Structure 1
Amino acid sequence: MGNLIKAEMRKIVTTKSWWGLLIPTVVLALLFALGWGAITNDINDYLGSSDARELGRAAGVEVTTLPVGLLALAHGINIGLLFPLILGILAIAGEYGKKTITTTFLTAPNRVSALTAKMLTYILWGAIYGVVIVGFASLGTVITVDSPGIPDAGYWFGILGAGVLASILATLFGVGLGALWNSTTGATVTSIIWILIVENLLVLVMWGWGGISWLGGVLPNGTLNGIVGAIGAEAFGAAGTAVPDAIDDEAVWLMQFTAGAPGAFSWWASALIFFAWAMLLFGGGWAANQKRDIT
C-alpha cells in the first residue's frame, strides 16, 4: 500500500493539475473573502430589521459585536471548495482520459488496493487544499473586516477544522463522481453547472414558491457549504439548537442564506449529510470500477 500511495503522489506532483487548480482556488477564496468582508462591516444595516437584533440576542451576543467576519470566511471558503472537488474528479476519470488507468490497475495487487491508495492520497490533498483555502479566506477577512466583527480564536479554530473537513469530503465526492462518470469533462462541467446554477436556483425557487426552507440542508452543494456556513449561522442564532421560536422562518432562512448555508440544520449535520453523499458516489464509483473494461 505504501508503494501505491507513493505512486499516486508522483502522479499528482509531476503534473500541472495540482498547482493549476490551486491558483484559482487562492484567488477566488481571497477575493470572495475580501468582497464579503467589505459589505459585512455594515451587516446591521444590510439586514435592516429588528429580527437581526433578536437573532443576535438569541445567540448571546450584542448585535453590534456579532462576528460578521464569519460571513466573509464562509463565502471565501465555500467558493474555494469547488477546486478540490475538481482535483478529485481527475483522480480516476483523468486516468481513463489519459489511458493510464490500465497501468494503474495492472501494477496493483488488485483494483481494491489501487482505489484505496487513491482515496488515502486524495484525503491528504484535500486537507492541503483545505488549509490553503482557509488561510487565504482568513487573510481576506482580516484585511477588510473591522475589528469588532473579527471572530475570536475559538471560531477561527472551528472554521479551520470545518474548512479542512469540507475540503477532504469535497475531494472524495469528486473522486467518486469521476469514477462513476468516467469522463473528466463530463463530470467537471456537470458538477460546476449543478453547484453554481441548478441547485442554487432550485433552492431559491422552492423556498420562494413552495415555502420549502430545508432543501438546501439536504442537497449536495448546500450541505457542503453548510459545513462552514452553518457556523456563522449558528453564531447569529439562525441554525442549530439556538433558533428561537419567536423568529419567523423567513428571517432565519435569510440569515442562513447570508451566511452561505440556506436550509442548514447545523454544521455537523451538514457534514454528516454531505459525507453520506460523498460515500454514495465513492461507493458507486468503487463498485463500477471493479469490473469496468480497461482495454
Structure 2
Amino acid sequence: MMGNLIKAEFRKTLSLKTWWVLLIPLALVAFWLTFAWGKITNDFADFLSSDSDARQVTRLIGLDPGSVPVGLLALAHGVNIAQLVPGLFGIFALAGEYRSKTITTTFLTAPNRISALTAKMLTYVAWGAIYGLVSFGVSAIAVMSSVDSGRWPSAGQWLAALGGTVLAAVLVTLFGIGFGAVLRNVPLAVVLFLVWFLIIENVLVILLWGQTTLLGGILPNGTANGIVGGIAADAFGFNSLNLPDDVNSGAQLLLQYTAAAPGVLSWWASALIFFAWTMAFFGLGWAGNQKRDIT
C-alpha cells in the first residue's frame, strides 16, 4: 500500500509544472552565485600570491595561496542560496493541496492520514535529494569554470560537499513541508519563508554580532547554511569550535562569511540543530493535519 501511495505522490508532482519550473531558478542561482564568488575568491588568492607581504602572512598561518581550495568557499555560497528553492517546493506539498482542494482526495484515498503524510514525506525526501544533486552539479561546473584547478576542492572535499548539499536540500524540503502545513496558506508561507531566510535572520545575526555570535549557529537559516558552509569552514579552520580565542568578533564574522555561514559551529552541529528545527515544524504540521477538517 505504501508503495502505491508513493507512486501516486510522484504522479501528482510530475503532473504539475512546479517541479521543473523551480529547477530553472535553482540552477541559475547555484551556477551564477558560485561562479561570481569563485571569481572573487580566485582573484583574491592571486593577490595573496603576488603580494610579498600578503604571501608572507598567509604562509605564517599555514596557507599556501596557490593551493588554497577557494572553490569550496564559492560552492558553499552557491548551494546555500539555491537550497531555498527546494524549501519553496516543500511548501507546496501540503499548503498547495489545501489551496487546490486536492487534500481531500489525498486523505480519502489512503487508509489513514498517517499513511498519506508518510508517503508524502518519503516522496519529498527523494525530490529534495534530486534538487540537491542538481544544485551541486551546476555549482561544481561553476567552480571549475571560475577557479584555477589548483584551488579546487580535494576529492574528499568534493564528496563531503556533495553529501552536505543533498542532506541540506532534503532537510530544507521537509522544513518547507512543515512550515507550509502549519500555515496552510501558500502566499503567506512563501513570503514569510523568504523574508526570514534572506533578510530578517541575517539582519539579526549581524546587528547582534557584538553581543553574541551564537545566533548564526542556532537559528534555522544559519544552521541550514552551516551544513555545507560548515564543511568549508571546517576545511579552513573558520568554525567557532576551532577559531583561536584571540580572534576578535569582526574577524570571525569576515572569515565565516567567506564560508557562507556566520556563527557556524561545525557542519555536524549545524546538521543536528537544523534537523531539530525541521522536525519541530514537520511535527507541528503533521499533528495539525491529523485533526483538521478537510471538507
Whether these two folds match at TM > 0.5 is yes
Task: From the superposition, tell whether residues 5 and 223 of structure 1 become closer, same or farther in structure 2 (CA, over 3 Å).
Answer: same
User: C-alpha distance in 1, partners of 2:272/2:280?
Assistant: 12
Partner secondary structure for residue 262 of structure 1: coil
Gaps spanning 5+ residues in structure 2: where? none
The secondary structure found in structure 2 opposite 1:242 is: coil
Shift in CA distance, 211/139, structure 1 to aligned 2, threshold 3 Å: same
Identify the residue that residue 94 of structure 1 maps to in structure 2. Answer: 96
Q: Identity of paired residues, percent? A: 56
Aligned mates of 1:22, 1:121 — CA distance in 2: 17
Cα separation, 1, equivalents of 2:91 and 2:169: 13
- In structure 1, list runs of 5 or more residues that go unmatched: none
**SS at the partner of 1:244?**
coil
Please give the per-residue CA displacement for 1:9-51, whole angstroms capped at 9, x wherever unaligned: 00111110000101110011001011001101133559x9x99
Residue 165 of structure 1 aligns with an amino acid whose one-letter code is: L
Residue 173 of structure 1, CA deviation:
0.2
**Alpha-carbon spacing, 1:66–1:115, altered in 2? closer, same or farther (3 Å):** same
The structure-2 alpha-carbon separation of the partners of 1:279 and 1:57, relative to structure 1 and needing over 3 Å to count, comes to farther
Distance 1:54 1:195, change over 3 A: farther
One-letter amino acid matched to 1:123: V
Q: Specify the SS of the correspondent of 2:244.
A: coil
The 3 A distance-change label for structure 1 pair 252 and 241 is same
CA contact (8 A) 1:54 1:247 kept: no
Cα distance in 1, alignment partners of residues 115 and 58 from structure 2: 50
Instruction: Name the counterpart of 2:191.
Output: 189
The residue identity in structure 2 corresponding to 1:103 is T
8 Å contact 1:53–1:62 — kept in the other structure? no
CA shift in 2, pair 1:88/1:112, >3 Å? same
CA distance in 2, matches of 1:166, 1:273: 12
- Taking structure 1 as reference, are residues 118 and 54 closer, same or farther at Cα in structure 2, changes over 3 Å only? farther
The question of 1:108 aligning with 2:113 is answered no
Name the SS of the counterpart of 2:208 in structure 1: helix
How many residue pairs get aligned? The number is: 290
CA–CA separation in structure 2 for the residues paired with 1:57 and 1:219: 35
- Displacement of 1:116 in angstroms is 0.4
| Cα deviation, residue 240, structure 1 | 5.8
Offset, 1:251: 1.7
Structure 2 distance, partners of 1:72, 1:117, is 36
Separation in 1, partners of 2:214, 2:143: 28
Q: In structure 2, give the amino acid aligned to 1:273.
A: I
The 1:138/1:53 distance shift into structure 2, 3 A limit, reads farther
Q: Deviations over 1:129-164 (max 9, x none)?
A: 000000001111110011221111110000000000
Aligned partner of 2:255 in structure 1 is 255
Q: Deviations over 1:161-211 (max 9, x none)?
A: 00000000000000100110101111111101111111111111111xx33
C-alpha separation in 2, matches of 1:241 and 1:224: 17
Alignment of 1:62-101 (within 5 A): 62-101=64-103
| 2:149 corresponds to 1:147 | yes
Q: Secondary structure at the match of 1:187?
A: helix
Q: For the aligned residues, what is the CA RMSD?
A: 2.0
TM-score under structure 1 normalisation? Answer: 0.93
Hey, what's the Cα distance between the residues in 2 that align with 1:221 and 1:227? 10
- Any runs of at least 4 consecutive aligned residues in structure 1 with deviations exceeding 4 A, and if so which? 50-58
- Secondary structure, aligned partner of 1:91: helix
